[in-house]
Structure 1
């Protein structure tokens, strides 16, 4: 059956209507390397739920006006951009407010290795679940200013650009002078997308010099930055 032609638009996130759907879209679009439990669920606590709860005013959804064969009904989010204008404030709210809501049965607080007071030795390949737990319990070391996901049916149609434009304007209005993204170096398509929107590789050494290369973290992720 042919898909119904639909129109999409960007609108502010509505906490009363969109929370569960945004989490569902996030789960449907997360990388294949995290498509197993408990990593699949832990991912939502690292890169989705805290933004919706702590910074809803800087979250936006891509809404479809008609049904088109996706799992979303007309008017429901088919994509989103989540973020915060202040990483430091966001991290403080995370520790004070968000961690109190985390179910320790779902995400137990990780043990801190001897000699490492934060336990921040990211190891996605060998221990993705443990790494996600450290992301959740230590956001100040890995709080991407934004996270963007779009269902496959709406990708490569300019929707990401619409979301990015609205988000960057909003955080600028709230006082942000710049924005950064931390992402896997292997995601070339995403890096090109961010490049088209003014992001570039961070020029300084990351992770206290752990990587030895400008803009590259110890785990191989890259940091992209953009002035506002």
Structure 2
């Protein structure tokens, strides 16, 4: 039996664990990072901290096995992180700016992101101001749970007045791309490296 429920502060460790175990284009990235918390600091923690009304977890079997998290106003969320989330992490993780990008370790690449976080494209935000991340462990995949979790978040975003939501997906993660297109997302932009920005009207 699986159950979708609002996330709580007590779910923080589970979100960080799932974030790490799906960080390699949907596969387990535990072996890639020396610091197991770095991925979660960027892609999970700030949502639980600043947008708890838009964070849901999937619980079943041995505990929490998936989550969907988002922010209704991406620009405002980025501003809040700049003042209330990144500064403390930047003190803990030095910027490896003196290390050439192609020589950085996976940890150093994430540390660089802490100091130079991604900023959403203004053209995308004009029609799709919200954004989300969703990750499910293998045992929770394939049963329609991902779609159900997205619908929970979509309902919360609609209630908050959002007209559209976007997300990013890596070029290698063809399984995720297919899933997002199946639930209604369409391509909005593609980076030179091949990663996609997909959007859905709410």
Shared topology, TM-score over 0.5? yes
Structure-1-length-normalised TM-score: 0.74
Change (3 A) 1:29 1:197: same
**Offset, 1:60:** 0.3
Segments of 5+ residues of structure 1 without an aligned counterpart are 1-6, 114-120, 203-214
Tell me what 2:23 maps to. 30
- SS of the counterpart of 1:104? helix
Q: Residue 67 of structure 2 is aligned with which of 49, 67, 80?
A: 80
Is the strand fraction higher in 1 or 2?
Answer: 2
Segments of 5+ residues of structure 2 without an aligned counterpart are 122-129
Runs (4 or more) in structure 1 with deviation over 4 Å come to none
Q: Residue 101 of structure 1 is aligned with which of 88, 91, 100?
A: 88
Larger Rg: 1
Check if 1:134 corresponds to 2:121. Answer: no
Q: Residue 154 of structure 1 is aligned with which of 140, 143, 147?
A: 140
**Offset, 1:140:** 4.6
**Offset, 1:142:** 5.5
Cα shift readout 1:8-38 (whole Å, capped 9, x = no counterpart):
11111112x2112221222223215673224
- SS of the counterpart of 2:37? helix
Change (3 A) 1:77 1:188: same
Q: Residue 8 of structure 2 is aligned with which of 6, 10, 14?
A: 14
Tell me what 1:63 maps to. 59
Is the helix fraction higher in 1 or 2?
Answer: 2
Structure-2-length-normalised TM-score: 0.82
Query: Once superposed, what is the RMSD of the aligned Cα atoms?
Result: 2.6
